[in-house]
Every structure is written in C-alpha cells, then in structure tokens.
A and B are shown apart, each in its own frame.
Chain A
Amino acid sequence: MEKADLSHHISRRFNEDLERVRNQVLAMGGFVEAQLQKAITSLIEGNSSLGESVALDDLKVNGMEVSIDEECSRILATRAPAAGDLRVIVAIIKTITDLERIGDEGEKIGLIASRLASMERPENKYREIKHLGRIVSEMVHGALDAFARMDADGALAVARQDRVVDEEYDAIHRQCITFMMEDPRTIRRALDVMWVVRSLERIGDHAKNICEYVIYMVHGKDIRHTRLEDVERALNKGNP
C-alpha cells in the first residue's frame, strides 16, 4: 500500500524525484554489495591486487553518498514532503550513512586482505571467515531487497539474523585466542583476522540498521533499541 503512495502524487515531478533518489540508493547499495563480495574474495583467495582495488574504490562509495545526500536536501528544501514521503527521505538519509560505513568496513577488509596475502595462510584457508562473510553479505543483500520492495516482514527476518552473526563472531574470537595461546607466531595473523571479523560483525549491525529504517519507512514506527520480539508484537497489532 505504501508502494502505491509513492506513485500517487499530484506533482509528477516530485514523484520522479523520489523514485530517482531511491534508485540511486539501491545502485549505491549494489556497488557496496559488490565491494564487500570482492573484499571477502580477496581475503579468501589471497588476492592482494583485488584487495587494493576494493580499498581504492571506496572513494566512489563516498562520492555516491555525498550526491544522494545533496539530492535529499534539495527535495526537502524545494518540495517540503510530509508524512510517508518525509519518512522515505529520512530513511534514505540514514540508509546511505550505513551503506557508506559498510563500504568503509569493506575497505578495511580489503587492506588487511592485501597484507595477509603475503603471509602464510592457515590450514583451513579462512573457512570460518568465508562462512561469516556469507551470512553477512546475505544480510546486506536481504536488507537492500527489503528496501527495494518496501517489505517490512522481510526486513524483520533479516534483522533477526544479526544474532547468528554475533554468535559466529564470539566463536571465531575464542578460536583466535586459542590459536594465539598455542603458537605465539600466529598472533600477528590472528590479530588481523580479528579485525576482519570485527568489521564483518559491524557490517551485520549496519545491515540491521537499514532493516530498521525500512520498517520505519513502511510502518512509521521507530524500532531502534527495542527487542525484536516486542517489535514483532507491535507490528502484528498494527495490522492483524
């Protein structure tokens, strides 16, 4: 129903503006997703040049954020949107900040990957990072899908995944500590791995934030800092 609202405007130009800025956000999201994918691949395959290219391309993400931000300010100033449209703009402004941070974390992973590429690789070839990376990129993908579809239920399902990421994070944390205690020579590498895992965990959080903005955009409810069970109950009450 909210989707219909987007296309039922008296001013067609306003409509086009909103739609265009939404498309820009999703294009930026697509770019960030690809960056994240490349960063994880560069780490797992030990491809240092790919890692460096990810780090370099982060500039493009920053550029996209700035241009979308400007566009949003322009819409706010010239169209003075209200109600649902205002929520869309607010959600977009917040979403691009999180997307930009995801890009930054991707840059960090890329840099560490290009450094780790010259080092001896562990026996399991970073399998646990591959696994965590997969969950996290699925979360980012799902969050952006929910954004594109204005799908609050989908957003909630993605937000719930954050718990899995936290558990994985703890598991890898413990594993790294064990490695470091067993063989101090691995400390350097283990610390780098910890940074990567930390970045991935942060990306999961950012994806969860985007999901919260989607729910805010669709239902007009602010669910930050609320337990997910409560959110679910509140949403179900709203539309039985």
Chain B
Amino acid sequence: MLGESTKAWGFALARLAMLLVGGLLLGLFIDHVVAGLLLVLGLALSWQLFNLFRLDHWLRARSRRDPPDVGGVWGDVVTQVVRLHRRKRYHKQRLLDVFRELRHSTAAMPDGVVVLNSQSEITWFNRTAGRLLGLRRRADIGIRISNLIRDPEFGRYLQRAEHGDVLQLPGLQPGKDLMLSFQLVPYGSGQRLMLVRDVTRQVRLESMRKDFVANASHELRSPLTVITGYLETLEQDQDIDPLLQGPLSEMRRQSERMNAILRDLLELSKLDASTDEAESEPVDVPGLASLLCKDVRARAARPTIELQLESAARLLGNEGELHSAFSNLIDNAVKYTPPEGRIVVRWATNAEGEALFSVSDSGIGIPAEHLPRLTERFYRVDPGRSRATGGSGLGLSIVKHALEHHGARLGIESQEGEGSVFTCHFPSERVLPPRAQS
C-alpha cells in the first residue's frame, strides 16, 4: 500500500514537473516566460480545486452517492476515505449488534431490571420492570426512582442498602395485589442495578405454610391433652396388669414429648406471625440469667453451671422472647453436657458496644459440617441421641427467630468432643445502661 501511494505521488510530481516544463516552453514561445508559467500553474491549480470540490461534495453527501471518479492523487485519497468509512461502518454495525443482543436478552429477562445513576435517577429499565413498577417508556427516564416508588420504607432502603440486602414491598400499582422484592447491586461509579422480582406466589405459599403449622399444632393439642390425661390416670391405677405398666409409662413419656413439640411449634409460629421488630421494653438480662441458672441448679444429675455477669447492662426487647431464647440455649447445653461437665453463662459488652449473651459448655460438641444447618427446623445432628433426650428439634430455630426480632445474630463455635459456645450478639442501639440505684 505504501509502495502504491509513493508511486501515485511520484506520478503526480512528474506530472507537475512536465507541466512546468510545458509552461516554460510556452512562455519562451510567446516571449513571456512568467505569463506562460502562470497560465499553466493556474490551469493545474483549478484542476486540483475542481477535484477538491468534487471530493468535498461527495463527502458532504455522505455515502448516498458513488465516489467521484477523480484522477491522480485525489483518486487515491478517495479510495482511502471509502476504505476507512467501510471499516468504521463494519465496526459500528458489530458493536450495534452486540449491544442490541445484550438489550434484547436483558429485556427478555423474567426479572425486572432498572439501571440507576449516582443520583438514583432511572437510566434504563426492561419491560418486566416497566410492567411490575408501572414505569413508562421514555417518559420516566431521568426521574428519580424514589419519586415514583414513594413508600418511605423504599426510600430508607435506597439510602442505606448494603450489598445483598433484599426488600419486600407490596406492589405499587393500584388494582394489582403484587408482592415485589427489590435488590440493589452497585456497579461502576455510583451506578446501581435494581432487580425487581414478583414474589407474590412465594409470599402467599409461605403464609399458607405458617397458617397450616399454627392451625395444625393448635388442633392437635386438645386431643393430646385428653390422651395424656387418661394415660396418667391409668398409670396410677393399681388394678392394671403389671405387664401393661411398661408400655403405659412409655406411652405417657411419648405423649409428653409430643406436647413439648407442639408447644415449640406454637411458640415458633407466634414468632413468625410478628415479623416486625419486637416491642421494646427494658429487660433486666442479669436478673433473667440468674433466674434461668437457678432453675437448672434445681435439677438432679446436672453439670456444674456458672454465671459470669461482666456487665449490668439492660436490653431493649421483649422479655418473653428473650426468656425463651436464653432458656433454650441453656437447656441445650445441659442436655448435651455430661453431669461431670461445666457450663458457663456469660453476659458482657464488647468494644463495639454490642452486648453478648453466651452459653459455653464442655459437652460433646458439634461436627463442623452441621453448623450451618443447625438452626433449621427439625434439623438433628444425631437423630437417635436427640430423641433420647426428648428434644423437639425446634429449640435453636426458636432462638434464631427470637434473636432476629431483636436485630441480633447467633454465633456458634464448636469443637467436636470439647464443647460448644453459643453467643447472641445484640446491636449497640438495644443496649441500655443499668437502672440507677435509688
């Protein structure tokens, strides 16, 4: 290509030289060298200008016309321009294709997608998002999302959503009872991707499940009470065949276990029903803890239990829920620790201002692979053992729910064969100073 262009330029220079020689000859012929040269140069210049004009004309008309058939170097320039143009158009087309493909695929996604800029203004959204949120194509681009989704809860979520936080809100469009879940994914410089999902069905199923569990446990309780009652009387009856004594007492034990499971299930569904944060009253945790420890000490064949109160802080929360959470933790420790073992109940605050309630035992411990699933309902590490001790399999589930109501989380550390530590971390805003002594 370089050779080609040098050839064309050499040709052009040769032509100019020939023209100049021609002009000189013409000048000598008419006895006016300057005039001859000027005439020839003028002609050459106008030819160049004419070519330039045609090129300019063609460029202005863009690609709508065929390139002009100009000679000399100009022809070369035209070819270059055409080539450049073609390459640009090819790249543009390819980019456009990729872009269109991307847009089509996001538009076809079953989840709603809204792109927000750093001011939380809508930059783009797909069809599903438009349908779920009632956004209008074009008209709503550039409007702040919080101006259209005005629920105060959404506003709060938008301001301090952390990665992975999900918000559920009833649908905004009047006339449709939708339940939507929102998730914000930050990307780029301050931009955010908002995913919107229709979770109406899931929420309905979930509430049906909760209702079912609550109703079933409630309905089962009354017949069970009757059975337990009769079993108790039969057990005390002296006239009963001694052969039946064994089965009868076993039946009574099992019916008591069923009662315990139903009690826990009802407790759980009560916690489920109040999804909001717990009603808040100051709770005297040191007092509660010493009461629970006293209960344990009253039992026969139990491990040593020690109470370490390193803080006198009170907690803002629901006393009933905290009581059932703490007592479940302590019960568990007692259940899985041999009588010669040791349990430590501790109440303290840490450097971040969190309040910690922890129960550590020197019991059998929990293998690491069970830890993540421990708080699931009816999850058992060792089914045989758990049944033998009469657990319902719901204890830690209750603890987890009760803690969630208080914005707290449960930490579990365990070493198989050496013991476990269950720690409740309460956020600092729920911690109150001890009551002033009057």
Contacts and interface: CB of A to CB of B under 8 A. Distances in A.
Contact of A149 (B139, B146, B172): B139
B433 interface: no
Given A27-B152, A30-B151, A149 B140 contact: yes
B229 interface: no
A224 interface: no
B150 A27 contact: yes
Interface stretch (A133-141, A172-180, A183-191, A200-208): A133-141
A142 B152 CA distance: 17
A3 B147 CA distance: 14
B146 A23 contact: yes
Interface in B164-199: 172, 174-175
Given A29-B150, A33-B150, A148-B143, A141 B155 contact: no
- What DSSP secondary structure best describes chain B's contact surface? loop
Given A26-B150, A27-B152, A138 B140 contact: no
Contacts of A151: 139
Interface string B126-158: 000000000010011011101111111111000
A56 interface: no
Contacts of B147: 22-23, 26, 148
Contact of B175 (A3, A30, A138, A148): A138
Contacts, number: 47
Nearest to B279: A49
B137 to A, nearest CB: 12
Nearest to B140: A149
B155 A3 contact: no
Q: How large is the interface on A (under 10, 10 to 19, 20 to 34, 35 or more residues)?
A: 20 to 34
Interface string A141-166: 11011001101000000000000000
Contacts of A26: 144, 146-147, 150
Interface in A20-68: 22-23, 26-27, 29-31, 33-34
B143 A141 contact: no
Given A145-B148, A149-B139, A149-B140, A27 B175 contact: no
B152 A31 contact: yes
Interface in A53-87: none
A22 B146 CA distance: 11
B174 A27 contact: no
Contacts of B136: 149
A138 B174 CA distance: 6
Contacts of A27: 146, 150, 152, 155
A134 B151 CA distance: 16
Contacts of B142: 3
A3 B172 CA distance: 24
A19 to B, nearest CB: 8
Q: Which of B146, B150, B153 has the most CB of A within 10 A?
A: B150
B150 A30 contact: yes
A207 to B, nearest CB: 12
A148 B121 CA distance: 12
Contacts of A144: 150
A23 B120 CA distance: 12
A141 B152 contact: no
Contacts of A134: 174-175
Q: Which of A26, A31, A137, A151 has the most CB of B within 10 A?
A: A26
B185 to A, nearest CB: 23
Contacts of B150: 26-27, 29-31, 33, 144
A151 B350 CA distance: 54
Contacts of A34: 151-153
Contact of A148 (B148, B152, B154): B148
A159 to B, nearest CB: 16
Contacts of A29: 150
Question: Nearest 5 pairs between A and B by C-beta?
Answer: A30-B150, A138-B174, A148-B147, A26-B147, A31-B152
Given A30-B149, A137-B174, 17 more contacts: A22-B147, A23-B146, A26-B144, A26-B147, A27-B150, A27-B155, A30-B146, A30-B151, A33-B151, A34-B151, A34-B152, A134-B174, A134-B175, A138-B174, A141-B172, A141-B174, A149-B139
23 contacts: A23-B144, A26-B144, A26-B147, A26-B150, A30-B151, A30-B154, A30-B155, A33-B150, A33-B151, A34-B152, A34-B153, A134-B175, A138-B174, A138-B175, A141-B174, A144-B150, A145-B148, A148-B147, A148-B148, A149-B139, A149-B143, A149-B148, A151-B139
